[in-house]
Amino acid sequence: MRLATWNVNSIRTRLPRVIDWLSRADVDVLAMQETKCSDGQFPALPFFELGYEVAHVGFNQWNGVAIASRVGLDDVQIGFEGQPSWSSKPEVAAGAEARALGATCAGIRMWSLYVPNGRAVGDPHYSYKLEWLAALRDTASGWLSADPGAQIALAGDWNIAPTDDDVWSTEFYAGATHVSEPERRAFGAIVEAQFADVVRPFTPGPGVYTYWDYTQLRFPKRQGMRIDFILASPALAARVTGAQIVREERKGKAPSDHAPVFVDVTDPRQG
């Protein structure tokens, strides 16, 4: 069984790329982030034609997360318990953004997560990011406390490079978000809550990235960041047999600025 995550950076713009890759990649479940559309605008039909059910949450042209599955899509949940709210305008009431979507697919609880960017250290959005990650850690810990054998994948764009090896230049990112110690500690707290990075053992660094900015020829210069991860609960991590960052999908016409990432897991009936 193959589980994947991909920040598609606008599903309507990237639809041909996503559908083409799905038709070739033998992916069973795909978590997508930054779909940048409302539910009514999401192009579900091409996924259905490939045999995928789709769940999506999006409110406007920002954020948006989706899960496409060809092995079942049950118990769909928008947002996680305790997910913080946000408003960039004092006159607008804060609300939960379209950043988290969960569904059960062939016994695996798949979460598509788009962690807030943070914008700049000290910005209110940075505080929101840390609060969001702390809430996710607390809620995810509760899931495992309730069921230590739960099969859970926290997949998505985490907007954090957990180690210095995960950026092309520590000097370039000095003082910026994504690499600050509070963000790295927040990511580490989720790992310490028994959600393992199941991609890194099969894609060791340094110099192994999942994101390359469109500007300054970052991709051909290999100047990227590793910020897309699949973190797995202990029971699911034990089933992982391989993983890949599909760097080739960052090439070509109109790519996303992120590459898809996937893991392969054994069929539990073979255990």
Q: Is 9 annotated as a binding residue?
A: no
**If pLDDT is split at 50, 70 and 90, which confidence band does 56 have?**
very high
Confidence at residue 60, expressed as pLDDT on a 0 to 100 scale: 87
**If pLDDT is split at 50, 70 and 90, which confidence band does 51 have?**
very high
Mean local confidence (pLDDT), 157-183: 98
For the record, the structure tokens of 249 come out as 């999908």
Superfamily per CATH, domain 2-265: Endonuclease/exonuclease/phosphatase (3.60.10.10)
Query: Considering the chain, what percentage of its residues have pLDDT values greater than 70?
Result: 98
For the record, the structure tokens of 221 come out as 């210069």
Q: Is 117 annotated as a binding residue?
A: no
Q: Which residues are catalytic?
A: 114, 157, 258
Confidence at residue 271, expressed as pLDDT on a 0 to 100 scale: 45
Q: Is 157 annotated as a binding residue?
A: yes
- What letter represents residue 27's amino acid? V
Mean local confidence (pLDDT), 78-97: 88
DSSP secondary structure, 178-195, as one string = TSSHHHHHHHHHHHHTT-
Specify the DSSP element, H or E, that contains 18: helix 11-25
Mean local confidence (pLDDT), 202-212: 97
Q: Above 60 in pLDDT, residue 270?
A: no
Q: Above 80 in pLDDT, residue 90?
A: no
- CA distances in angstroms from 86 to 43, 118, 261, listed in the order given: 27, 12, 28
Work out the angle between the directed axes of helices 124-146 and 181-192 (0-180°, nearest 10): 10
Query: Considering the chain, what percentage of its residues have pLDDT values greater than 90?
Result: 93
Mean pLDDT of the chain: 96
For the record, the structure tokens of 178 come out as 């994504």
Pair 86, 94: CB distance under 8 Å = yes
Handedness of CA 41, 47, 51, 54 (dihedral sign): negative
Q: CA angle, 32 as apex, 60 and 141 as ends, to 5°?
A: 100
Specify the DSSP element, H or E, that contains 144: helix 124-146
pLDDT in tens, 118-157: 999 999 999 999 999 999 999 999 999 999 999 999 999 9
Q: Lowest mean pLDDT of 52-56, 60-64, 86-90, 228-232, name the range.
A: 86-90
pTM: 0.97
pLDDT in tens, 192-204: 999 999 999 999 9
Mean local confidence (pLDDT), 209-235: 98
Q: Above 80 in pLDDT, residue 268?
A: no
For the record, the structure tokens of 190 come out as 């989720």
Q: Is 159 annotated as a binding residue?
A: yes
pLDDT in tens, 12-36: 999 999 999 999 999 999 999 999 9
CA dist., res. 82 & res. 141, Å (int): 12
